[in-house]
Amino acid sequence: MQNIYNVKSVEESWAVAAEVVKLLKPGTVMALHGDLGAGKTTFMQGIAIALHLERPVTSPTFTLSNEYNAAQFKLVHMDLYRLTSPDDLLAIGYAEHIENGAVVAVEWPERAEDLIPADAIHIYLEQGDEMEDRRIIVEQP
Amino acid sequence: MIVLGIESSCDETAAAVVDNGRNVLSSVVYSQIELHQPYGGVVPEIASRSHVEKISGIISSAMIQAFGNGSEESIDTSWWNKLDAVAVTYGPGLASSLIVGLSEAKGLALRIGAPLIGINHVEAHIHSVFLSSGAPEPAEIFPYLALVVSGGHSCLIEVTALNTCSIIGQTLDDAAGEAFDKAAKMMGLGYPGGPVIDKLARSVDCRSTIDFPKGRPRAGNPILGGLDADLCVSFSGLKTSLMYYLKKNPPADNAEVAAIIASYQEAIVDALAQRCSIALLRGNYKALAVGGGVSLNSRLRERLTAVSQAAGVPVLLAEPRFCGDNAAMIAGLACMGAGVTGAEAMELDVVPSLAAGS
């Protein structure tokens, strides 16, 4: 199934994220595709808000992996940007998190394609012509 | 109290010997920047491997510089007895990097029979301002405000007593150093971004010709959680706005590159300075302490000095050699009685997302 959303504000991106949250269950992998500035941070903030986390969702670029305890499940936010091999993803606990029922959001998933399960939800974020414009494509099996 | 400090949280392998928390007997830092430059950022696997290779040599150098008379090339084993403790960073940072320093420190502490002290890296950055000879004693300036700005952190911390601090503001997304690095990458200026951006920005007459977003989150934004919007910053939108600007107005020459980057830097510096100003005017602080690699930025130093003057408090800036990651700040803070000590320290595991004051 594929849904396409054209959004024109941060709030509209958050509304799409809230829809995606309804699809999440323990062990879901959410692959976030999109270039620098495509809106991955904004989208993840929307996920956090919909999960009632209400705290800053800081960039995982430095620590590679940030964890948040939501009421329904643990949310893990990983950044593969500088990993050199898919093994590095395993080294930062990716498989254990899924096994333990966390929802794992992965930025730059194309760096470890083989490790993204077939039932993962794929989110494609694309820039529009204006700064606030985004196209968000949500794909789920 | 003489403490050996060990630091390996990111891409610097460092060791230092500090006496009484203030007197730096030695501070040795090996920077891996050249190893990571081709990748435009720190590669965890490469960082970890390099820490393993360098750490024992760096510790030896720190011991020789601290206790030798200038002619020794190896450690005199009696020097180990001079150490009252071994201090080490256990977080925040990259897990695979932190583990190298922590394992080395545990092994060393056991071998020489010295107690181990686990130190919070962000809190240690605050202590770096006290490593200068002219700085006051921490106890004289409680409560004080601290700004820690680096590639991985941007937070405003209130320090009310020895070992008592709490985060009162922070970035909601990217750290200030990350915002510099990402901009440098977009504009092809190389890695790390901070120093080259600082230099380019100094080359232009007008500090800000382009109106970038202010890096200030809106009040009522739910992701603030319990934090006050007036004390937080947000750089993700600023980075996106730079990207769109470059797309629509590709710089024609070096002068235009400098003008764009100067405006971008000004937006970051202004957000940080303005947040400090609000906190200083609201709170009853006796000083502003600034640490972390981004605190080397000359424009930020200028603005923070002005902001503290306006608030009537002194600004304490770390010496340049103690701004970036180093082990003197780790050993120094441990001397003050901070950190995880006793049997608990030997049981410590690394904590990649350790927050200040936790």
Based on the domain organization, do B308 and B183 belong to the same domain? yes
Are residues A63 and B182, on separate chains, in Cβ contact within 8 Å?
no
CB within 8 Å: B174 and A88: no
B253 to B11, B204, B205, B250, B260: CA distances (angstroms): 33, 13, 16, 9, 11
Q: Model-level pTM?
A: 0.94
* Partners of residue B352 in chain A, C-beta under 8 Å: 63-65
Query: Does residue B188 sit within a domain?
Result: yes
B193 and B335 in a single domain? The answer is no
Q: Do A116 and A109 touch, CB atoms closer than 8 A?
A: yes
- Whether residues B161 and B265 share a domain: the answer is yes
Are B326 and B127 within 8 A, CB to CB? no
Question: Does residue B186 belong to any structural domain of this protein?
Answer: yes
Residue B201 belongs to a domain: yes
Please say whether the beta carbons of B91 and B350 come within 8 A. yes
SS3 B85: strand
Q: Same domain for B276 and B328?
A: no
Report all structural domains of chain A as residue ranges with CATH numbers, in order of start.
Answer: 2-139 (3.40.50.300)
Do residue B160 and residue B37 come from a single domain? no
B79 and B182 assigned to the same domain: no
Are residues B224 and A81, on separate chains, in Cβ contact within 8 Å? no
CATH number at B17 reads: 3.30.420.40
pLDDT at A88: 82
Pair (B94, B27) in one structural domain: yes
With beta carbons under 8 A apart, name residues in chain A contacting B152.
Answer: 62-63
In terms of domains, do B146 and B279 share one?
yes
| Residue B358 located in a structural domain | no
Tell me, yes or no, whether B356 lies in a domain: no
- State the complex-level ipTM: 0.89
pLDDT of A54 reads: 82
Q: CA B330 → CA B9, B42, B326, distances in Å?
A: 11, 22, 7
Give yes or no: residues B73 and B212 share one domain.
no
Q: Mean pLDDT of residues grouped by 10 in chain B (358 residues)?
A: 97 97 97 90 91 98 95 91 98 95 98 98 98 92 98 96 94 95 93 95 90 90 92 94 93 95 97 98 97 98 98 97 98 96 96 89
Q: pLDDT, tens digit, for every residue of B70-111?
A: 888 889 999 999 999 999 999 999 999 999 999 999 999 999
Domain count, chain B: 2
* Residue ranges making up the domain that contains B187: 137-317
Across all residues in chain A, what is the average pLDDT? 92
**Contact state of A88 with B171 under an 8 Å Cβ cutoff:** no
Cβ of B240 within 8 Å of Cβ of A64? The answer is no
Which residue of A lies nearest to B351 if distances are taken between CA atoms? A63
Kindly state whether residue B283 falls inside one of the protein's structural domains.
Answer: yes
Burial of B77 (0-12, 13-18, 19+ CB in 10 A): exposed
- Give a yes or no: residue B357 inside a domain: no
| Residue B222, domain member (yes or no) | yes
Q: What percent of chain B has pLDDT over 90?
A: 88
Q: Do B163 and B238 fall within a single domain?
A: yes
* Whether residue B170 is found in the same domain as residue B302: yes
> How much is the pLDDT for B98?
97
Considering only alpha carbons, which residue of chain A is nearest residue B227?
A55
Shared-domain flag, residues B92 and B149: no
